[in-house]
Structure 1
Amino acid sequence: MKKLGEKKWVISLGIAGALLLSACGNKTEATETSKNPDAETVIVGTGNVYQPFVYLDENNELQGYDVEILRAIDEKLDQYNFEYESMDFKNILTSLSAGKVRLAAHQYEQNEERAAKYLYGEVGYTDYTLYIVHDGSNKVEYQSLDDLVGKKVFASPGGNVAYLLEKYNKEHDEKIEVIYNEASSEVFVKGLQNGTADAAILTKYDTNKYNEQFNADLQISGDPVNVSKTYFLYEKGDEELKEAVDGALQELIDDGSLAKLSVEILGDDYTK
């Protein structure tokens, strides 16, 4: 892969070390000095344990698909100089609300609750269509969220899956049992295999990744339960930054650079 920084990054981080690091923010300076000495510094808030999208490598350096996209965008925007602050996922939007960061990047999907609080970019950069997934030994087929009533379903606290399930439960008398989960990927998959949860809601990318990584047999059921893309988030009113980033991102899409990054980092083109 063409390097956008000066180092070659290694995808490796022990879970224990990652969790320890996630307890506090990790400031990472911009990888290159801006050509414009008057460039405005933009602090980007992102995560640190979500491989391969945003994570800290074995050298405690921030890497991932979202980060590489932002580095490519930064190269196109001479008026800005991006710096990165990695933190626990649940603290990113809190930091955006507090004005500690100006841009939030962590595979954020559209939902009404977030849209009421934050400004969404208008150009999406990753397909994030969600499907109901279960272990292959469980001979069922879930066609919709209605089929999950009374079932135990994994969801990450504060994530869009949790939002979808919580919204469903508010609108229906019969409820889905939400099992909030922040465990490692291995524990997550084992939980589906041993019945800790009956199902999860995942993208095709994550489903394929878990099957390959853990030799699992996770199966996708039925039609999508949510069709979306991921977007960068900003403070309300920060239109100038949003429009600049949207414009640079659209250029990466139009010239094929975004699809190339997706293939190189994610293994296929997940931008459509």
Structure 2
Amino acid sequence: MKSLRVLLVAGLLQLTAAAGAFAQSNLADIKSAGVIKIGTEGTYAPFSFHDKSNALTGFDVEIGRAIAQKLGVKAQFVEGKWDGLIAGLDVKRYDAVINQVGITDARKAKYAFSDPYISSAAALIVRDDNTTIKSFADLKGKKSANTLTSNFGKLAQNNGAEVVGVQGFNEAIELLVSKRVEATVNDNLSFLDFKKQRPQAPVKIAALDKSAEFSSSGVLLRQGDPALVAAINKALADIKADGTYKKISEQFFGVDVSKQ
């Protein structure tokens, strides 16, 4: 019996050592390959989208490229729809997701996050002739266009809205303008960028929710990889210190959003 316990303990120690080695291996593998694979939508301006020449760009994309540069590797982006984007991390399609992923307790139970790299707010967006929806509570019984698994969609549902599923911000706005829905809950910075591009669009912000669940986004990573988390946190600190973050921020928002 004693020898059996010894064998069990030895086996557990070996498993623990193997787990520790695995936890440290991903950063080394990334540096060895010279590439960090990053999941992103590619349809979510101004964070991840294709410009007029069809090149992938956006605030999150350029932050990803800057992080990769600090790690000494290249960024390789893998595009996918939001509703399957996080699941792609589970099956190791990429090493990280950089796509305005809100840092929530529910996600932290399953995934690792970098330090927050941007903060915003959830905006309740309605047509500019709407006088009945003035707060999130007014969404009860109304149709809201949202991606089904996003924090914004959950916020709409929590306030009693009937969520109409869409693939992204632009589709949500199209449904709103065409009066097929009465609202959309979305990112405040996305709305500000949209209005900058289309100032005549008949939409407005009725209310903002600045709670932490919706305001802070981080780089999403698999759990058990502390070396990679630490390296990305250092990269984020470095790009803020050397002015890279400010330059990227001003490119897409006209202001340094790290100050917000």
TM-score bucket (shorter structure): 0.7 to 0.9
State whether structure 2 residue 195 is matched by structure 1 residue 211: yes
Unaligned runs of 5+ in 2: 1-29
| Percent of residue pairs identical | 25
What displacement does 1:103 show? 0.8
Partner of 2:68: 74
Corresponding position: 1:258 with 2:251: no
Distance 1:244 1:117, change over 3 A: same
Map Cα deviations across residues 16-61 of structure 1 (whole Å, 9 max, x no partner): xxxxxxxxxxxxxxxxxxxx98465432222222233223456654
**Structure 1 stretches of 4+ moved >6 Å:** none
Question: For 1:110, what is the secondary structure of its paired residue?
Answer: coil
Seen in structure 2, the aligned counterparts of structure 1 residues 223 and 213 have a Cα distance that, compared at 3 Å, is closer
Alignment partner, residue 200 of structure 1: 184
Q: Please state how far the C-alpha of 1:96 moved relative to its aligned partner.
A: 0.6
Give the structure-2-normalised TM-score: 0.75
Match of 2:92 in 1: 99
1:89 and 2:85 aligned: no
Classify 1:194/1:81 alpha carbon distance in 2 versus 1 (closer, same or farther; 3 Å): closer
Structure 1: 5+ residue stretches without partners: 1-35, 170-174
Whichever residue aligns with residue 217 of structure 1, its letter is P
CA distance in 1 between counterparts of 2:187 and 2:77 reads 26
CA distance 1:43–1:135, change in 2 (3 Å): same
Equivalence for 1:162: 153
- Counterpart Cα distance in 2 of 1:225 and 1:65: 20
- Letter of the 2:48 partner, please give it: V
More helix by share: 2
Count of aligned residue pairs for this structure pair:
227
Find the counterpart in structure 1 of residue 162 from structure 2: 177
8 Å Cα contact 1:151-1:176 kept in structure 2:
yes
Are 1:124 and 2:116 matched, yes or no? yes
Q: Which has the higher strand share?
A: 1
Q: 1:54 to 1:131 in 2, by over 3 A?
A: closer
The secondary structure found in structure 2 opposite 1:134 is strand
